[in-house]
Every structure is written in C-alpha cells, then in structure tokens.
Amino acid sequence: MTPAARLAAAASILDSMAQGRQPAETVLKAWGAANRYAGSKDRRAIADHVYKVLRARGRLSWIMGGREDGRALVIGSLHAIDGLSLEEIEALHSGDGYGPRPLSKQERSRITAGQGEVPGWVAAGLPEFVVEDFKATFGDRWAEEAHALMTPRAPIDLRVNDAAATVEEVEAELRAAGLEVSRTPWSVLGLRVPSEPPPNIQALDGFKAGKFEIQDEGSQVVCWLAGAEPGTTVVDYCAGGGGKTLGLAQAMRGQGKLIAADVVNKRLENIRPRLKRAGVEAELVLIGQNGGGLEAVNGQADLVFVDAPCSGSGTWRRRPEDAWRLTTEEVEKLHALQVRILSQATKLVKPGGRLVYVTCSMLARENEASADAFEAANPEFRPVPVADLLSAPQLSAAARTKLAELASGARLRLSPATADTDGFFAAVYERTA
C-alpha cells in the first residue's frame, strides 16, 4: 500500500470506530481480515496511525475546528504530531489511486491557521470533565498524571503462578522466546515485557501450562493487599474475566473456599479455562443485579473483594479510544452502581471479616466519592489503614515503602505516573459488628 492509501485506511477505521464501542484492536483486526491485500507492515503502520490519533483526539479535533471524522483527525495528526508541512500533507492527498482526496479550502486553512491558545484539557488529550476531576484530585500534578495515562506503549506484566513455577523459570522461558524481560518492582511474582513488538504470550508453553498469566502489576498489588489467607472463605464479588480471582486463589494457596460471582454468565464461563490452566478451583456463581444467589454465604465470608464496574479510565494508556466514549452521565451511573454493589456485598462479610473496594478508575467520582458514600451509610465497616495491609509475602520490600508513601490513610491510588502501573484505587474495610 502507498503511504497515502494507508492514511485513507486509518481514516476509515477511525470512522468505523466512532460508530460503535468496539475496542480499537478489534476494529483493526476486522479491517485486516476484510482487506487481505494489506501486508503486515501496512497493518502495523495503519494501527500506529490510528493509535497516534486516538491518544491526541481532543487536540486534533480542536485543530480541525471541532471536526471529529477520521479524515480530519488524520490530517490534523500529520500536521500537529508528524510535523508535516502543508505541501507534504497535500502531496499525500492527491486523490491518486487509493489515497485520500485533495484538501478542501477549509482543511488547508486549518493547517495554516496554527493552533492558537490551546485550553489545558485539549493539550492533555482528555475530555474536559476528566481534566476537571484530575485537577481536583492531583492539584498541580494533574498534567503529569494525564500525560502518563495517555502515553503509548505500556508494557505487559505477567503474574507467575508460584504453585506451578518459579519466577526464575518463567523468566528463562521468556528470554528463550526472545523477549526482553525484567522484574516488576512491587509484586515479587511480577515480570514485565515490552509491548512492542507485540509478544504472543498465549502461544508460550508456560502460559498454556498455567505457569503465568497476563496481569498488570497494579492489579496484582491490589490482590496482595486484600490479604486473602489459606483456609478462609473469599468471595470475588465482581469476578468478570477472573483476573483477580486467580490472584486471590494464589494467595489462598488452594486452601479454603473461593467463590467467583458476577451478573454476566459469559464472563464467569471465561474464568473456567483460566482456573483449569492455573490448577485452582473456585465456585462460579451467577448472581442477580440485586445480589441474589449468594444467600448461603451471608455473614460467612472472611473476605469479599469488590472489583466494581467502572470507567476503566486507569487503563486508557492501553485503550485510549475509551477516553472519548466516556460521558459524565455514565460516570454518575457507575458511581451509583458502585455504591449499590458495595452495600449488597456487605451482607456476606462476617464480623471481623474484610470488604475490599477496588476500581481501575482514575476518577474521584468513582473512587473517593464512592468510598465516602459507602462509609457514610455503613459505619460498622472500619477503614483499615493501608500501612496495616503491607505484610503480604507477595509484596516486595520496596512496595511496602512505596505503597505507604502513596497511601492516603485507608485509601490507595496507583497510577501510570506514580507507580508505572495502570490506574487503580483500593480501600479495605473491616466489619466491626
């Protein structure tokens, strides 16, 4: 494909993404399958361009006078990110072959006009209401947090299943597969590999044998903080794909009762092969929206882990397209749902047991505000200071210092800027009565 044809393809992929809510990765794969003439280099170049645009979407739309279509965003990116001159952009828009049609008068004037005074949220590459939330949470550091969140090429973290392999063994297998591998700083079971070129982790023998799983280090850390003990009853209340279920199972060393619950059966079914691979067991329970289905566990659980539905804004460095799909209305709905789920989950916790609230959100409305609302309505749940949660053997000595530093009393935030992880929030409560 010519460079111009690749640009036309990137623009049309951005347009199809705008019509739905599918992840960029899925849309790119579908495009590749439908356009077999595109070679791997073409697909790579097109994907790079699409992601480049998604990470800077607000700024590019601003430059192009508020236009949000793929063509305008691509033209804006050639100018503002790639630094091409008007003549160079015009050469790529000659209309020849499969390339995009020539620039209109308005498009040309957008390029020559310069960017003018750019508002902070535009420069940050995030929706305006997100920037307002960040300013309230991070003060002067908001732009640093925003920048790290939208920076490309987040590495891929793995959690070694220490019941099946040692960290050294897995490290050796990854090296033998030609991957550059390092230890993660906070989870002693974590390994990190670069995301470029994309490694095929699932094809490795060790993965198939359950020796390791893909899990961001932040997600590992919140599992370890929860303090799941062998021989106890643990409920993973919003089990989803089972990432945390497997971490909790590992902390329990296969001893005790682990229940993975969710309102979506398909998600629970996806956990089954992962449990099998890891060689651990969990009871899978489909619950109703009101929490029905877990009555047998009422007042019995030592630990209820609520990895609540959230905006997923902590993972925007991996899925920048989601930033532009989130609305304030959705965040309000999520906040209400989070508080409702927490209140339902309280029933399961036995006196002296723990309730853990976790999100992979960066937004205060879903983190501190949901924790505030829960605490106000449930005074029998005592917030446990993060400093009292750091004894898990899976946390490194460096993590104990770092997490104590990052904690604000009984609440912890991890972020790409502060911990080099995805964004996470955690608050742990103990039932006093």
Please state the residue numbers annotated as binding site.
262, 307
CB of 308 to ligand SAM, least distance (A): 6
By beta-carbon distance, which residue lies closest to ligand SAM? 240
Residue choice 243, 256, 416, 423 for contact with ligand SAM (CB under 6 A): 243
Question: Is residue 230 reached through a cis peptide bond, with omega within 30 degrees of 0 on the bond before it?
Answer: no
Does position 237 interact with ligand SAM (CB under 6 A)? The reply is: yes
Alpha carbon distance 164, 162 (integer Å): 5
Residue 240 near ligand SAM by CB under 6 A: yes
CB 297 within 8 A of CB 235: yes
Task: Give the single-character DSSP code of 190.
Answer: E
Report in angstroms how near the CB of residue 59 gets to ligand SAM at its nearest: 29
HSE-CB for 279 with a 13 A CA cutoff: 13
List residues forming the annotated binding site for S-adenosyl-L-methionine. 262, 307
Structure tokens at 323: 């930033």
- Position of tokens 């590999």? 193
Burial class for 86, CB neighbours closer than 10 Å (0-12, 13-18, 19+): middle
Which tokens belong to 418? Answer: 């502060």
Cβ 211 to ligand SAM, closest distance in Å? Answer: 19
Return the range that interacts with ligand SAM (CB under 6 A); candidates 69-77, 79-87, 161-169, 307-315.
307-315
Is the CB of 3 or the CB of 273 nearer to ligand SAM?
273
244 in contact with ligand SAM (CB under 6 A): yes
Asked if 321 is part of the footprint of ligand SAM (rule: CB under 6 A), the reply reads no
Residue 263, interface with ligand SAM (CB under 6 A)?
Answer: yes
370 to 409: interface string for ligand SAM, x by CB under 6 A: ----------------------------------------
Bridge partners (DSSP) listed for residue 356: 305, 428
Closest separation in Å from C-beta 201 to ligand SAM:
16
Q: How far is the CB of 135 from ligand SAM (least distance, A)?
A: 25
Using CA atoms, how far apart are residues 287 and 93, in angstroms rounded to an integer?
A: 54
SS3 378: coil
**Helix, strand or coil, per DSSP, at residue 264:** coil
CA 212 – CA 278 distance, rounded (Å): 8
Of 146 and 238, which CB lies nearer to ligand SAM in the complex structure? 238
- Counting contacts by CB under 6 A, is residue 262 touching ligand SAM? yes
Q: Which residue(s) pair with 111 in the sheet?
A: none
Tokens of 295: 């009555």
Q: Which of 157, 216, 302, 307 binds ligand SAM (CB under 6 A)?
A: 307
Q: Is 360 a catalytic residue?
A: yes
- Known catalytic residues are 360
> Which residues of the chain form contacts with ligand SAM (CB under 6 A)?
237-244, 262-264, 267, 287, 289, 307, 309-310, 341
